[in-house]
A and B are shown apart, each in its own frame.
Chain A
Amino acid sequence: MTATSTPGSLLESRGLTVRFGGLLALNELDIDVRHGEVLGLIGPNGSGKTTFLNVISGVYSASAGSIRLDGVDITTASAQSLSNHGLARTFQRSRLCLPLSVFDNIALGAQKRLDSGLWQNLVRRKEFAAEARAIAAEARELLHVFNPMLADKLFEPAISLGMIDRRRVEICRALIGKPKLVLLDEPSAGMTHDETDQVVDEILGIRKSLGGLTIIIVEHEMGLIERVTDRCVVLNYGKKICEGRFRDVAVDPVVREAYLGQS
């Protein structure tokens, strides 16, 4: 089922369906994400938001339908190859390797452009050291955008960081790979209102300094969505029920029923 590529779209899904046994998690989803936009993906619990991210990033398989990234069909692409296509993501439940240092975690994001051959790593130590220094510099720069103090903790174990710092490290990990598309899965989860505001500012700041980054954000915090996103897509029971700017979507009767009708 080949889909025609809409100009200006970085990511497009057509008829995307995901079934878990008898459960229909995503139901014939058609979503377009334009180059350089920040798209919010919202909806009540269980509406399929995280499932959508998981399918795009290769963690789940699609049962039907297609996904195209920058014109390339990635429906059956493995998670590994997707990072080569310029996709990066964070996870809802923080997926940092806690015993490892901040540096190790962020370096993972740059994995695809690092030399991981045995010869380079075991024998050509000087070249490896140079590469490591370069990555450390980049990592420090990224962390610096959030918090100069965080940049100093580059070689601390990730477990020693607080929740909000861990989130920031995850975002840096996603960004160091210089991706085209970043998926942020509930970046404000587990944080206070003030911390969420901070994260919002930081995300906007990152976007500015990196220029032209396309982001999909899954969120429950409507304040964050309102401030950060250009457009929103609302899901309910795996189907798209509305899309548009947040302030338009927020007053849409179908959307209100989806949220409030759930008791």
Chain B
Amino acid sequence: MGVIGQHLLNGMMQGTIYGLVAMGFTIFFGVMNVIKFSHGDVLTLGAFGGLVAVWATHSLGLSVPSQFIAAFAAAMLLSAVAGAGISHFLIMPLRNAPPLNMLLMTMMVGTVLREAIRLFFPNGTNPQRFPELLPSGGFDIGSSFFRTDALILIVAGIASIGVVYWIINRTKFGLAMRAVAEDVETARTMGINFARVIPLTFALGSITAGFAGTIYGLYYSEINYGMGLLLAVIGFTAAIVGGLGNIWGAIIGGYLFAGLQTFVVAAIPSMSDYKNVFAFVLIIMLITWRPTGLLAERGSERV
């Protein structure tokens, strides 16, 4: 019975991370009609940036809370710059290229980031230990043990999802973003500064990646150069299942995928290696049933 609590916690954490990644995907697609597959590797970049920041502040003798903040700040900044840079130099100039070319290119950009980290970060091929910056230990509820740091991270993650949602739906910038996503031409004629909204949107999406990467590092206590790839595939999947361009869909998709994984691990422990297989099979079935995602509109076109 106590295991259930553990699974629940794990699932929530995973779902939060997937949701954050999926939100990025859906934002990028909504505003520029592009699937930015390098998103996962931007997350990794952020995580490594956070790690370096922790090392730096630690060696400077700064307090643990400062290191904690430095990690997030560095990760989010680095990811934002990388994400905005990629969008400005590589995606925007090619926005009229065939979607397949764009998809391939962002996948390659991801590869570049991943390989760069592997090759140029000291001992990059091996997993890096992420320091403990949150209070260890936990408490019991019933027969389940709940880690304190896990709870803090989950709350932080959900809070950040909320912040992004708020930015998109309640601020002027978010309005501009949604206008551009809806209809670029009209948005421009309405006076929205296209050249500013786009990079800022990519920065926003990438900031969430940096945030997610740091959370990942703190929760699992380690990061490695390849962690972004599977996260990207899952995040992409979650965004698709929820319906590309739909923020709620991305969030729900992320938790759904985590839920499927957790279900397999909890219900059939001997098959836990196959958790991703099960999840993907179910996702494919879902997509077949609803070819444009769970929360998307359906037209009456038969062809």
Q: List A residues at the B interface (Cβ < 8 Å).
A: 18, 20, 58-61, 78-79
A18-B299 Cα distance, complex, nearest whole Å: 12
**CB-based contact A58/B300 at 8 Å:** no
* Nearest chain B CB to A75 CB, angstrom units: 12
**CB-based contact A20/B300 at 8 Å:** yes
Cβ contacts under 8 Å, B300 to chain A: 18, 20, 60-61
* Nearest chain B CB to A68 CB, angstrom units: 19
Cβ contacts under 8 Å, A79 to chain B: 302-303
* Nearest chain B CB to A89 CB, angstrom units: 13
Residue B301 CB within 8 A of the other chain: yes
* Nearest chain B CB to A20 CB, angstrom units: 6
Q: Which 9 pairs, one residue from A and one from B, show the smallest C-beta to C-beta distance?
A: A79-B303, A61-B300, A61-B302, A60-B300, A59-B303, A20-B300, A59-B301, A58-B302, A60-B301
A87-B237 Cα distance, complex, nearest whole Å: 41
Q: Which of B286-303 contact A (CB under 8 A)?
A: 299-303
A60-B302 Cα distance, complex, nearest whole Å: 6
* Nearest chain A CB to B263 CB, angstrom units: 35
A59-B301 Cα distance, complex, nearest whole Å: 6
Q: Which residue of B lies closest to A79 (CB)?
A: B303
Interface contacts beyond A58-B303, A60-B300, A60-B301: sample of 8 additional A-B pairs, CB < 8 Å, sorted by A: A18-B300, A20-B299, A20-B300, A59-B301, A59-B302, A60-B302, A61-B300, A61-B302
A61-B302 Cα distance, complex, nearest whole Å: 7
Contact with A along B31-67 (1 / 0, CB 8 A): 0000000000000000000000000000000000000
* Nearest chain A CB to B239 CB, angstrom units: 25
A78-B301 Cα distance, complex, nearest whole Å: 11
Cβ contacts under 8 Å, B303 to chain A: 58-59, 79
Contact with A along B262-303 (1 / 0, CB 8 A): 000000000000000000000000000000000000011111
Q: Which residue of A lies closest to B302 (CB)?
A: A61
Cβ contacts under 8 Å, A59 to chain B: 301-303
Q: Would you list 6 pairs from A and B whose C-beta atoms are within 8 A, ordered by A residue?
A: A59-B303, A60-B300, A61-B300, A61-B302, A79-B302, A79-B303
A23-B299 Cα distance, complex, nearest whole Å: 12
Q: Which residue of A lies closest to B299 (CB)?
A: A20
* Nearest chain A CB to B299 CB, angstrom units: 8
Cβ contacts under 8 Å, B299 to chain A: 20
Q: Which residue of A lies closest to B303 (CB)?
A: A79
A58-B300 Cα distance, complex, nearest whole Å: 11
A79-B303 Cα distance, complex, nearest whole Å: 7
Q: Which residue of B lies closest to A58 (CB)?
A: B302
A195-B303 Cα distance, complex, nearest whole Å: 32
Cβ contacts under 8 Å, A18 to chain B: 300
A53-B301 Cα distance, complex, nearest whole Å: 13
* Nearest chain A CB to B293 CB, angstrom units: 18
Q: Which of B57-115 contact A (CB under 8 A)?
A: none
Cβ contacts under 8 Å, B301 to chain A: 59-60
* Nearest chain B CB to A81 CB, angstrom units: 12
A229-B300 Cα distance, complex, nearest whole Å: 31
Interface centre among B300, B301, B302 (most CB of A within 10 A): B300
Cβ contacts under 8 Å, B302 to chain A: 58-61, 78-79
* Nearest chain B CB to A220 CB, angstrom units: 23
* Nearest chain A CB to B98 CB, angstrom units: 11
Q: Which residue of B lies closest to A19 (CB)?
A: B300
A59-B299 Cα distance, complex, nearest whole Å: 11
Cβ contacts under 8 Å, A78 to chain B: 302
Contact with A along B7-33 (1 / 0, CB 8 A): 000000000000000000000000000
Interface centre among A18, A20, A60 (most CB of B within 10 A): A60
* Nearest chain A CB to B136 CB, angstrom units: 54
Cβ contacts under 8 Å, A20 to chain B: 299-300
